[in-house]
A and B are shown apart, each in its own frame.
Chain A
Amino acid sequence: MATTIKSGFERIRNTEVWRTIFRSGSGSSNLHRSQAVQQNIFLHLFSVKVRSRALEFSPTWYLGALTLSTFFILIATGILLMFYYHPSVPQAYADMKDLQFVVASGVFLRNLHRWSAHAMVFLVFAHMFKVFYRGAYRPPRQFNWVIGVFLLLITLLLSYTGYLLPWDQLAFWAVTVGSNIAKAVPLMGKQIRFLMLGGNEVNANALLRFYVLHCVILPLVAILLVGVHFWRIRKDGGLYVPEKKNL
């Protein structure tokens, strides 16, 4: 049985179509395994081999992988949610009601997006502290740490811009409180806030601006930086795992 499935897979992997898509043919040698990574535009960000200690749970708690997982879930659910959402007042709120009461599994979709977003913010922080305590920011990984800090900020901005989109009281006042802080910036606080909201208060302009940031600009920047972040892991010599010390 298992062999039948296995040979079936082999046959598929030997077809011309497969080989044109994935460039690596069949075979189970380490060369083929390496090719599977090298020849793939997404996977080639990673090294072909990783240190087996880096796969252990204790050094990383898999926090980076979990953060990336929530990011994937957020992209998938976010795209689905965009099908039901109009960034306009008051339709945005009515769309929330439609998601809740009419759209099949709409509540579930929104829940998943919302909770994943909170989870991602939490995991990014956790990841950062774990990296610090592991000492993995030290040379030559300095710049990857800096990218990480920017990814933290992007994550916070993504979450914050998404917070406004339901256009409910919670959203409105959370963003009002947040945007009022921007006013305190010396000299050009008001201008920053105006740029941020597209006006002097949280209104339909701000909603549209936050929507574009949340759905286009920030995800693109995040994807780009995540790509660099992973590529730099490889370039900086793989995941840092401290040597076991005898205390």
Chain B
Amino acid sequence: MDDNNKSAPLRSRPTLRELAYFGVVSLVLLVSLAIAPAKNYFSDWRHYQKSYLKIAAERQSGTLVRSFHGGIHQTWIANLGVVDRCESCHVNMNGALVGATAQPFRKHPPIPHEINQFGCVTCHRGQGPATSVEEAHYTTEAWEQPLLPAKYLESGCGQCHLGPLEGAPKLSEGRSLLSSMGCVHCHNVTQPDGNQLTPGDNPPPLTHIAEKTSREWMYAWIKNPQAYAASATMPNFLLNDQDAADISAFLMAQSTPSAATKVEIKPAAAAAPTGADAATEATTLYGASFCSSCHAVQNEARNLVGGNFGPELTRVGNKVNPDWLRRWLNNPVAYHPDTRMPHYRMDDKQVALLSSFLLAKKDNDLLANVHLAPSTADSVARGKKLVTETGCAACHQINGVNPPQNFAPDLTRVGSRALAQVVFAPGMKHNLPDYIAAKIHDPRSFGPGLKMPKFTLTDSQTGALATALLAQTDRAATYPKELIISGARPSNYHPGGEAGKLMDDLRCLSCHAINGNGGDMAPDLTWEGSAVQGAWLEDFLKNPNTLRPALIRRMPKFNLSPEEIKTLADYISVAYQGSGFDSQTLDTHSLNADSAARGKQLFYSKYGCQSCHIADYKNDKGYVGPALTSVGTRLTPVWTYKWLKDPNALRAGTLMPNFGLKDDEARDLTAFLMTLKAKQGGSK
């Protein structure tokens, strides 16, 4: 080095301090790096597998311990997007370790599917790929849909099973409520197979409403429908007095006269019935017409008695104008072309009896405090605006207001809605099931400006609706089409010809289904011609009587004329024939007395049919199935034979078991049943 640079010393080695720092920091680094694998080692799933093995060892299950494969257990189903590692901790799903009741070692209850067929999260939600408790079960930053509470679990089924499903009653109830409460009037709910749910509540048109009721009743009704009828499905829009007054003013103003007004009311029909027996007579008529099959009335104990297919009649006297009611009873179709109410053939006396009976059903307090200012052009105009904004026309036909399109949010994918898109009410839990349930239960708690009205639902119904909606997932929409099991779609079948007109007038399809169209209240008539004997059918239509005494709903008596009965019976016998109901299936000549005797043996001994059916009122006590005392008059032999062989093939879902009868056994039983004829003059 140059002596000029002597003032600039050169240091060649690190100082001791530098070396010390170097050593200490290196050591700290090595230790820190070693912590990472250690942290990895103490993972949740390793912990649970260890405790499983410990329990197994305590129970001396050596085979279980030996056959256990440690490590991450995974169900991978590529086409469903399933990567489920739940079984890494839930190692005892098959219940091999008996009696382990604490999670995560609880045995999975038996289900109709294999676990490796659909994985776990398909039904349970949660984060399948996760192997830590927190991430797998709960809402985290990376995963929104936590484990579904058990009460909504049936929604998992509903992703593939789009129709009613046995074993998933909540789901089925929810789906039917979506339809029967009219939710789908406003909300679109499209199922993964592309079918929209359709409303099943048939709200009345309001185009001729002034004819039917008063403005005061209308006002009270829209303010609180349930005050008039506890079972009303119309929701409460929580209108204020002014809005309700304006809406009622508009609804009265838009009303036009219906076709029914052309019908003249004969004095006999309008006359108040006289005589001591009038009240009894009216009650009898109400009963004989089986009005209560569809309509309910509240009794003194405030219980509803009757069906829920038509409106509740407890206070109908407050609602309807007497003349409207008389015309309605005379022929409902004239007022409401799409009503489900059949056209009873009532004579003037019957109309008078029934109308005065119904008009007496009133509650004098209901409208006592309703005093409306006379309607003005302003209030009508304001009412129209309100009706448009409230979306009344989504359900009801109203003159001058078009049904709104896309009025309410589409619920097709609501079961996968991102929480970021959900506005929660203050104080509620931030998860989707609770949100949906709360929204159904009390929509206005999410803000007074919201349009959705308040429906009258029990908690169980709310839960069922939420279950049905939670089935509408993104996941289901991406499933392979072959997995989807569509529900039955209503066909557009309508009977034709003269008989068709008659059946339409009688609204047979309100209760009976034929060829895939119609209600489910009464038996399917698709094969009725093959099933019953023509003579019995005529007899039945003349004076319908229930076959099952335990049922409340019964076929009403329509007072048909003999020609109408003939037309109907002939048409049903000819048109509603199934295939295979011929002599090739059963040779009726073989049904002789010997055969019948053998059949009786089979009936009472081998198969014990009398435990459900009654063949002889004196001895048998079976009330589960229909009485068979006159079955030989009612059913055709070949139907009976085929029915006995396989009941479910003829009526899906029947309670009648398939006993696996041999051909000759079925024939002998048929022979026996055919001997059970009705006594002359009655079909008891």
A5-32 vs B, Cβ < 8 Å mask (1 yes, 0 no): 0000000000000000000000000100
**Chain A residues closer than 8 Å to B10, beta-carbon distance:** 30, 49
A102 at the interface (CB under 8 A from B): yes
**Chain A residues closer than 8 Å to B37, beta-carbon distance:** 104-105
**Chain A residues closer than 8 Å to B129, beta-carbon distance:** 94, 97-98, 101
**Chain A residues closer than 8 Å to B11, beta-carbon distance:** 52
B72 at the interface (CB under 8 A from A): yes
Smallest Cβ-Cβ distance to A98: which chain B residue: B129
A29-63 vs B, Cβ < 8 Å mask (1 yes, 0 no): 01001000000000000000100100000000000
| Interchain pairs with CB closer than 8 A, number | 34
Pair A168/B39 contact, Cβ less than 8 Å:
no
Pair B131/A101 contact, Cβ less than 8 Å:
yes
Q: Give Cα distance in the complex from A107 to B83, angstroms.
A: 19
A108 at the interface (CB under 8 A from B): yes
Identify which of residues 46-96 in chain A touch chain B, using a CB-to-CB cut-off of 8 Å.
49, 52, 94
Pair B132/A101 contact, Cβ less than 8 Å:
yes
CB < 8 Å neighbour of A101 from B12, B36, B39, B85: B85
B130 at the interface (CB under 8 A from A): yes
For residue B16, give the distance in angstroms from its CB to the closest CB of chain A: 12
**Chain A residues closer than 8 Å to B12, beta-carbon distance:** 30, 33
B111-135 vs A, Cβ < 8 Å mask (1 yes, 0 no): 0000000000000000001111001
**Chain B residues closer than 8 Å to A104, beta-carbon distance:** 37, 40
B483 at the interface (CB under 8 A from A): no
Pair B72/A102 contact, Cβ less than 8 Å:
yes
B368 at the interface (CB under 8 A from A): no
**Chain A residues closer than 8 Å to B85, beta-carbon distance:** 101-102
For residue A165, give the distance in angstroms from its CB to the closest CB of chain B: 15
Q: Give Cα distance in the complex from A104 to B83, angstroms.
A: 18
B285-323 vs A, Cβ < 8 Å mask (1 yes, 0 no): 000000000000000000000000000000000000000
Interface size on A, as a range, is 10 to 19
Question: Beyond A102-B131, A168-B142, is A94–B39 a contact (Cβ under 8 Å)?
Answer: no
Identify which of residues 107-159 in chain B touch chain A, using a CB-to-CB cut-off of 8 Å.
129-132, 135, 142
Q: Give Cα distance in the complex from A71 to B443, angstroms.
A: 55
Pair A108/B83 contact, Cβ less than 8 Å:
no
For residue A89, give the distance in angstroms from its CB to the closest CB of chain B: 13
Q: Give Cα distance in the complex from A155 to B11, angstroms.
A: 35
**Chain A residues closer than 8 Å to B72, beta-carbon distance:** 101-102
Q: Give Cα distance in the complex from A104 to B10, angstroms.
A: 48
**Chain B residues closer than 8 Å to A168, beta-carbon distance:** 142
For residue A186, give the distance in angstroms from its CB to the closest CB of chain B: 35
Q: Give Cα distance in the complex from A11 to B12, angstroms.
A: 21
**Chain B residues closer than 8 Å to A30, beta-carbon distance:** 10, 12
Q: Give Cα distance in the complex from A52 to B9, angstroms.
A: 9
Pair B135/A101 contact, Cβ less than 8 Å:
yes
Q: Give Cα distance in the complex from A27 to B93, angstroms.
A: 69
CB < 8 Å neighbour of B83 from A33, A49, A94, A105: A94
For residue A40, give the distance in angstroms from its CB to the closest CB of chain B: 17
Q: Give Cα distance in the complex from A108 to B11, angstroms.
A: 40
Smallest Cβ-Cβ distance to A102: which chain B residue: B72
Question: Beyond A30-B10, A49-B10, is A105–B130 a contact (Cβ under 8 Å)?
Answer: no
Tell me what chain A mostly uses at the interface: helix, strand, loop, or mixed.
helix
Q: Give Cα distance in the complex from A52 to B85, angstroms.
A: 58
Q: Give Cα distance in the complex from A33 to B72, angstroms.
A: 53
Q: Give Cα distance in the complex from A104 to B36, angstroms.
A: 9
Q: Give Cα distance in the complex from A74 to B85, angstroms.
A: 30
Identify which of residues 99-130 in chain A touch chain B, using a CB-to-CB cut-off of 8 Å.
100-102, 104-105, 107-108
**Chain B residues closer than 8 Å to A100, beta-carbon distance:** 130, 135
Smallest Cβ-Cβ distance to B18: which chain A residue: A55
**Chain B residues closer than 8 Å to A107, beta-carbon distance:** 40
Q: Give Cα distance in the complex from A100 to B135, angstroms.
A: 10
For residue B228, give the distance in angstroms from its CB to the closest CB of chain A: 50
For residue A35, give the distance in angstroms from its CB to the closest CB of chain B: 13
**Chain A residues closer than 8 Å to B142, beta-carbon distance:** 168
Pair A97/B130 contact, Cβ less than 8 Å:
yes
B80-113 vs A, Cβ < 8 Å mask (1 yes, 0 no): 0001010000000000000000000000000000
Smallest Cβ-Cβ distance to B132: which chain A residue: A101
**Chain B residues closer than 8 Å to A105, beta-carbon distance:** 36-37, 39-40
**Chain B residues closer than 8 Å to A97, beta-carbon distance:** 83, 129-130
**Chain A residues closer than 8 Å to B83, beta-carbon distance:** 94, 97
Pair A108/B39 contact, Cβ less than 8 Å:
yes
For residue B253, give the distance in angstroms from its CB to the closest CB of chain A: 52
For residue B141, give the distance in angstroms from its CB to the closest CB of chain A: 9
**Chain A residues closer than 8 Å to B130, beta-carbon distance:** 97, 100-101
Identify which of residues 1-40 in chain B touch chain A, using a CB-to-CB cut-off of 8 Å.
10-12, 36-37, 39-40
CB < 8 Å neighbour of A108 from B36, B132, B135: B36
For residue B442, give the distance in angstroms from its CB to the closest CB of chain A: 31
**Chain A residues closer than 8 Å to B39, beta-carbon distance:** 105, 108
Q: Give Cα distance in the complex from A98 to B12, angstroms.
A: 50
Smallest Cβ-Cβ distance to A112: which chain B residue: B36
Q: Give Cα distance in the complex from A191 to B129, angstroms.
A: 39
Q: Give Cα distance in the complex from A49 to B132, angstroms.
A: 53
Q: Give Cα distance in the complex from A56 to B39, angstroms.
A: 37
Smallest Cβ-Cβ distance to B45: which chain A residue: A101
**Chain B residues closer than 8 Å to A98, beta-carbon distance:** 129
Q: Give Cα distance in the complex from A106 to B85, angstroms.
A: 16
**Chain A residues closer than 8 Å to B131, beta-carbon distance:** 101-102
Q: Give Cα distance in the complex from A16 to B39, angstroms.
A: 43
B544-571 vs A, Cβ < 8 Å mask (1 yes, 0 no): 0000000000000000000000000000
Q: Give Cα distance in the complex from A84 to B408, angstroms.
A: 45
Smallest Cβ-Cβ distance to B143: which chain A residue: A97
Q: Give Cα distance in the complex from A52 to B11, angstroms.
A: 8
Q: Give Cα distance in the complex from A98 to B11, angstroms.
A: 51
For residue B5, give the distance in angstroms from its CB to the closest CB of chain A: 11
**Chain A residues closer than 8 Å to B36, beta-carbon distance:** 105, 108
**Chain B residues closer than 8 Å to A101, beta-carbon distance:** 72, 85, 129-132, 135
Q: Give Cα distance in the complex from A49 to B9, angstroms.
A: 11
For residue A210, give the distance in angstroms from its CB to the closest CB of chain B: 21
CB < 8 Å neighbour of B40 from A33, A49, A108: A108
Identify which of residues 33-60 in chain B touch chain A, using a CB-to-CB cut-off of 8 Å.
36-37, 39-40
Interface centre among A97, A101, A102, A105 (most CB of B within 10 A): A101
For residue A203, give the distance in angstroms from its CB to the closest CB of chain B: 18
Q: Give Cα distance in the complex from A168 to B141, angstroms.
A: 11
Q: Give Cα distance in the complex from A100 to B132, angstroms.
A: 10
For residue A244, give the distance in angstroms from its CB to the closest CB of chain B: 16
Smallest Cβ-Cβ distance to B38: which chain A residue: A105
Q: What are 22 of the A-B contact pairs (CB < 8 Å)?
A: A30-B10, A30-B12, A33-B12, A49-B10, A52-B11, A94-B129, A97-B83, A97-B130, A98-B129, A100-B135, A101-B72, A101-B85, A101-B129, A101-B135, A102-B72, A102-B85, A102-B131, A104-B37, A105-B36, A105-B39, A105-B40, A108-B39
B residues with CB within 8 A of A? 10-12, 36-37, 39-40, 72, 83, 85, 129-132, 135, 142
Q: Closest 4 CB pairs between A and B?
A: A101-B131, A108-B36, A97-B129, A105-B40
A-B contacts besides A101-B132, A105-B40, 14 pairs, CB < 8 Å: A30-B12, A33-B12, A49-B10, A94-B83, A94-B129, A97-B129, A101-B85, A101-B130, A101-B131, A102-B72, A102-B85, A102-B131, A108-B39, A168-B142
